[in-house]
Chain A
Amino acid sequence: MTDSKYFTTTKKGEIFELKAELNSDKKEKKKEAVKKVIASMTVGKDVSALFPDVVNCMQTDNLELKKLVYLYLMNYAKSQPDMAIMAVNTFVKDCEDPNPLIRALAVRTMGCIRVDKITEYLCEPLRKCLKDEDPYVRKTAAVCVAKLHDINAQLVEDQGFLDTLKDLISDSNPMVVANAVAALSEIAESHPNSNLLDLNPQTINKLLTALNECTEWGQIFILDCLANYTPRDDRESQSICERVTPRLSHANSAVVLSAVKVLMKFMEMLPKDLDYYGTLLKKLAPPLVTLLSAEPELQYVALRNINLIVQKRPEILKHEMKVFFVKYNDPIYVKLEKLDIMIRLASQANIAQVLAELKEYATEVDVDFVRKAVRAIGRCAIKVEQSAERCVSTLLDLIQTKVNYVVQEAIVVIKDIFRKYPNKYESVIATLCENLDSLDEPEARAAMIWIVGEYAERIDNADELLESFLEGFHDESTQVQLQLLTAIVKLFLKKPTETQELVQQVLSLATQDSDNPDLRDRGYIYWRLLSTDPVAAKEVVLAEKPLISEETDLIEPTLLDELICHIGTLASVYHKPPSAFVEGSRGVQHKRLPARTGSGESAESPDVGQSVSVSEAPPAVIPSQGDLLGDLLNLDLAPPTTNVPVVPSSMQMGAMDLLGGGLDSLMGDDSETLGGDLGGSPAMGVAVGGAPVTMPAVGGGLGDLFDLGGGVGMTSGFYSPPKTVWLPAMKAKGLEISGTFVRRGGVINVDLSLTNKAMSVMTDFAIQFNKNSFGLSPAGPLQVLTPLSPNQTVEVSLPLGTTGPVMKMEPLNNLQVAVKNNIDVFYFSCHYPISLLFVEDGKMDRQVFLATWKDIPSENEAQFQIKDCHLSSDAASNKLQGSNIFTVAKRTVEVQDMLYQSIKLTNGIWVLAELRIQTGNPSYTLSVKCRAPEVAQFVYQSYELILKN
């Protein structure tokens, strides 16, 4: 007789029959009946009606029957709470049974009956079982505390079960220890701040001892618990590592991974020059390699973890490239993961081998895999510069196969290679163009269009090529449409004469015939740019683009560190922090790698650095490779922060018209996506107001724009020119610096905008000036406190002193600056307006002025014309005073006003000036007299600037 027949009863009234059988006197019959009930339960039939009858079978000395009844109880007690009470007496009695199996069974089952009313009856038996003489009962009771805590946490605390549980950590039986640790760990997670698992060197020692004796599953609990401990110093860290290392050769991969987690975490505390650090690195490689010989399911999970480990510590597996070569019979998901790791491990040393493999893969049958292999070749080129040439030729070989998806994939990656090594491999463009017709995927089409637009000047028939795409413009995907628009605008800027018609066509297609707001907005921006200021348009659209780097696909460092703390868990498979996929309080705790602590400076409390922080913002994830093209699109729009010319308020009415209603929508709807970028569009300037507007060159968002507008509108402020780019990103590995000088409240400041246009985070900024004519030097350190993430801009104001070393520069106002960050040191020079040095107490006494004027020889006098100035003499005087040019006296002769003015420089040099203003004549005459005649030229420039702005 077999169990399978239990599944086959379908008769009506079977419940009735079962009821009779359950109440039978014969034990065998009862047992059979309970089995039938459980079979029905498994397939999902409702047999809860039999509850009282089944419970009646509970009182038996037959263990097999008892187990079956308990199985039923666990399933249905919750739906029948009142009747569940009936079972309580038996439970309590069973907990006193001489047979430990029955005691354990009772306490285990009671905990699984999640009925509130039962819990109070549970306490006494549980208390006894926690102190039972049999370890099997104790280990079951330990788990029962966790069960009870889940039902009624307060009760567990009130009854003091937590303390008993803590005592069990010191139990003589390792199984009991392991379960106690597991239960405490789970309870502790719902009370993040309780010090339940009081981890200190003594308990850690106990755990490490139990580790050697308990079952493999117990070892996992203990290792996971150890991973939450933060050692006091590197010595403790090392000694724990030494005792955990033997677990690496365990046959159970879960034990191995938990050990790897502990080691990866504690390694963080070891000094890298320590011999042991190197030993440990070596020991980590073999177990990871061994995981790859497991069945595919485990391999996949292992590869996801190795992917993290390789990003954190590439040195561990740098010699193991070969094990990641794919086998022809690997499942596709394993192949793809292996490929990813191969790229991460690729270096100059092994690139030849890797490329040879990738080339083989690119001819395989599986389409997804082939695509990824082709893409991988491109990533190799970007990662290992020396291999770029070989990669490109490999890609060309692949294009020759004419296999459709290979060609498309190759073109997408060649575009990336162009972005990394501009002006190096353009010779291949001809080959690419031959394959234009076979491109049917949007990404490949967009890439090809980008290439044509970017290198339009070298492709004779670029206009024809782009025109051919334009025919089906409305059928293309947005990606292609946007790219086509940009490419044609580029082409127009490069070859304006023959492509005017084309650009008009695309602009009207984009702005008038399209419903896509992104496309329309971009079309309008280009249109206005082109119609108002083609030069600016050129600078915006054809600006140099920052290079892409291989780091694009790396996991962002803080996220990576968190994931390393979760090695061997679901988080490491999803590559997401637990908070992203675990509900409730259990996922909230962020774990961090411990900071390095020397043994000399051991922390006071063992909890220092204990990794709990709730308020941490979720770390941002860097766009994956797929987003590159998106970046590309944005890049074209982003103002390259070169000098965008200032648009005078008297802009032609034509331009105003053009703006029309479009502007509102621009500002209203899309300020989020475009806000930052719009700074470059002169059209915006007009919108902001009638006041003379200076455009901030750096895209600081619309907010900045308004601030600045307001600030400049005031007449009496110090005039500060708009920020200009001093250090373009191209020359500084992605760091772009623009700035301006300003005098605020008698203090000279340099206002800087640092923009990270690279793909990696920048830190550790510092600044230094070379000796200069007026001894300008930073009065404090450069205050860039937080690391600068990619695409982020930080504004800093650096106060300057004038007491630095002096050396006469050519030109006089030249300033050479060195800026350092974690990547390199960069040098640039800039010119400061001399008005910066005009001090507040520069008003000379009339008599002294007169005497000095006479005293300075007339050959020191310089005369300049200031043209096109329409201010009255009073207005001019006011304006100049804002910049510390003081009018000592004013004389009016007929229609001519003469202002006598004095200026004092920071180094004590006096400059005297006479400004003649004739009513009705927009041309002023400025005479400057100074003992240091070389200053005169710069004083004149300052006048010009101040009066005209």
Chain B
Amino acid sequence: MISQVFILSSKGDHLIYKDFRGEADKDAISVFYEMVTALSGDQPPVVMSHKDLHFIHVKQGGLYWVASMKINASPFTIIEFLNRLAALTKDYCGSLSEKSVRMNFTLIYELLDEMVDYGYIQTTSTDILKNFIQTEAVSSKPFSLFDLSNVGLFGAETQQSKVAPSAAASRPIMSHHSEQGGKNEIFVDVVERLSVVIGSNGVLMKADVEGEIRVKCFLPTCSEMRIGLNEEFSIGKSQLRGYGTSVHVDECSFHQSVKLDEFDTYRILKVCPSQGEQTLMQYQLSDELPCAPPFRLFPTVEKDYGSRLLIFLKLRCDLPPKSTAINVSVTVPVPKGSLSLSQELSSPEQTAELQLKHKAVLWSIPRFHGGSQLSALFKVEVPGLSSASFLEVGPVSLSFELPKQTCTGLQIRFLRLSPTQQGLSQRWVRYVTHSDSYTIRI
């Protein structure tokens, strides 16, 4: 049971404060802010307590979303709720920022009143909430179709910008007056996160994929949407169908609004999407990637004359030739006390720098085509280089994005709306894989 909910800006300004049970003081806000800013790096920030008041918070959109409670509540409930509150705020206000929260404070109070009563969470579903909400949202900037500055996948935090021709992600879902070009659009994103560990001998030690299908719906009315996945999609470790062509995941969970009666036979998800953003399905796969891991590294680490360390890296991209990885950055830890770096890179668009604070060399590659290979030579000046210093080189970690790719091979065969929407209704399906933790040991 939640005692209070409050939203603070990163500077500690009170944006929203709601007391549900009258059992805690308003001072709690400043107590919380002092605690959260005084935390050191290794202290778990999630759950904090002051006397008999417990705080749980998440940070989204640069804001602190905080709930306090006096009883032995469930942190899972609270975190899920706070995330949902932030998502709803984003759905209703269009974007998530200090400005949008300030501008819509009455709306957020109204939302909070319907979402929580006496600390008991009532509902977080837009479908139910829209029956009660009276206040109109105020958009932080006038919506323009031509403003493509913050286009992007809403599901993934990516910088890539040429996927969808719409600034859909940043407009309020429920605009009563539609002069803002309220198009009937629906977006379906398949987002996968890849975790890989490759051992020093080149053996793939671990490969996990966490994926989700997310929907953002701007359709005012939609009775049912049918999403067809690959027919050969299979779930579970033992259940193997066919020979290798199947798309396979270990585990799957669904949003509770998803109807699965056609899933077992036809791999069709049926859902009546509420307006706003939802994760329809989450899945994961471990250890059995259907394809080779996208990157391989062939490192050589040698001692040059004097106190110079030579790191020669050959990086191969094993994606299909037509695909491209973007925003690849390679982090190579170097021994402590490293002084300077000189590098030889294979193309001018790449960059490399020595980050003394992190004791690492950062090699950035904006685009990397499938099937190609890049190499880099780093000469690092390390005073007092010893054999033990070599132990400090590695493991190399990579971060990247693979647009239009899924590692599991999951595809959306079709997206059907019924009844068929009148007029313009646009359906977008987008895929992206990005690295979660991609580590190659040396």
Contact = CB atoms under 8 A, between A and B. Distances in A.
Among the interface residues B69, B71, B76, B255, which one has the most CB atoms of the partner chain A within 10 A?
Answer: B76
A583 B46 contact: no
Interface in A129-153: 139-140, 143-144, 146-147, 150
Contact of B395 (A224, A337, A360): A360
Given A146-B118, A216-B256, A217-B77, A401 B391 contact: yes
B282 A215 contact: no
Nearest to A289: B251
A108 interface: yes
A254 interface: yes
A300 interface: yes
B42 A3 contact: no
B103 A217 contact: no
Q: Which size class do B's interface residues fall under?
A: 35 or more
A325 interface: yes
Interface stretch (B122-130, B166-174, B411-419): B122-130
B333 A143 contact: no
Given A290-B251, A293-B284, A39 B75 contact: no
Interface string B390-405: 0110110101000000
Interface in B1-42: 1, 13-17, 19-22, 26, 41-42
A252 B87 CA distance: 14
Contacts of B49: 574, 581
Interface stretch (A61-69, A383-391, A907-915): A61-69
B195 interface: yes
Interface stretch (B105-113, B146-154, B299-307): B105-113
B73 A186 contact: no
A71 B112 CA distance: 11
A581 B132 contact: no
B54 A570 contact: yes
A809 interface: no
A3 B74 contact: no
Given A67-B113, A323-B286, A574 B47 contact: yes
B52 interface: yes
B31 to A, nearest CB: 14
A257 B74 contact: yes
B391 A251 contact: no
Interface in A273-316: 286-287, 289-290, 293, 295, 297-298, 300-302
Among the interface residues B69, B99, B251, which one has the most CB atoms of the partner chain A within 10 A?
Answer: B251
A101 B132 contact: yes
B422 interface: no
A2 interface: yes
Contacts of B1: 186
A333 interface: yes
A322 interface: yes
A731 B164 CA distance: 74
B75 A4 contact: no
A799 interface: no
A300 B44 contact: yes
Contacts of A63: 134
A220 B74 contact: yes
A64 B134 contact: yes
B274 interface: no
A160 interface: no
Contacts of A327: 195, 436-437, 439
Contacts of B72: 566, 569-571, 578, 581-582, 586-587
Given A253-B80, A293-B282, A327-B437, A64 B44 contact: no
Contact of B287 (A254, A322, A364): A322
Interface in B221-262: 250-256
Contacts of B81: 217
Interface in B320-370: 333, 358-360
B104 interface: yes
B395 A297 contact: no
Contacts of B104: 3
Interface string A366-410: 001000000000000000000000000000000011110000000
A30 interface: no
A785 interface: no
B52 A251 contact: no
In terms of DSSP, what is the predominant structure of the interface of chain B?
Answer: mixed
B424 interface: no
A101 B114 CA distance: 11
A704 B69 CA distance: 49
B80 A44 contact: no
A216 B73 CA distance: 16
B204 interface: no
A330 interface: yes
A873 B22 CA distance: 87
Given A71-B113, A217-B123, A401-B388, A569 B106 contact: no
A38 interface: yes
A68 B106 contact: yes
Contacts of A250: 253, 256
Interface string B78-93: 0111010000000000
Interface residues of A, number: 94
Nearest to A179: B120
Given A64-B134, A254-B74, A360 B441 contact: yes
Contacts of B271: none
Interface string A96-140: 000001000000100110100000000000000000000000011
A202 to B, nearest CB: 25
Nearest to B441: A360
B197 interface: yes
B316 interface: no
A295 B77 CA distance: 14
Contacts of A111: 118
A4 B253 contact: no
A403 B391 CA distance: 11
A98 to B, nearest CB: 16
A4 B71 contact: no
Contacts of B42: 332-333, 336, 368
Contact of B70 (A328, A360, A368, A583): A583
Contact of B206 (A216, A322, A363, A582): A322
A286 B251 contact: yes
B117 A108 contact: yes
B125 A215 contact: yes
A249 B254 contact: yes
A182 interface: yes
Nearest to B237: A286
Interface in A160-217: 175, 179, 182-183, 186, 215-217
Contact of A586 (B71, B109, B359): B71
Contacts of B437: 327-330
A893 interface: no
Contacts of B124: 216-217
B138 interface: yes
Contacts of A220: 74, 77, 121
Given A286-B251, A401-B392, 20 more contacts: A4-B99, A42-B15, A44-B26, A111-B118, A147-B118, A179-B117, A179-B122, A216-B124, A249-B253, A250-B256, A254-B77, A257-B76, A327-B195, A327-B439, A328-B397, A328-B437, A368-B42, A570-B47, A581-B54, A582-B71
28 contacts: A2-B138, A3-B102, A68-B106, A108-B117, A112-B20, A216-B256, A220-B74, A221-B120, A249-B254, A251-B256, A257-B74, A293-B284, A297-B58, A301-B76, A322-B286, A328-B395, A328-B397, A329-B437, A333-B44, A364-B333, A365-B358, A365-B359, A568-B74, A571-B72, A573-B47, A582-B71, A583-B70, A586-B72
Interface of B: 1, 13-17, 19-22, 26, 41-47, 49, 52, 54, 58, 69-77, 79-81, 83, 99, 102-106, 109-110, 113, 117-118, 120-125, 132, 134-135, 138, 193, 195, 197, 206, 208, 210, 250-256, 279, 282, 284, 286-287, 333, 358-360, 386, 388, 391-392, 394-395, 397, 399, 436-437, 439, 441
Kindly list the 3 A-B residue pairs having the minimum CB-CB distance in the complex, ordered from nearest.
Answer: A327-B437, A333-B44, A254-B76
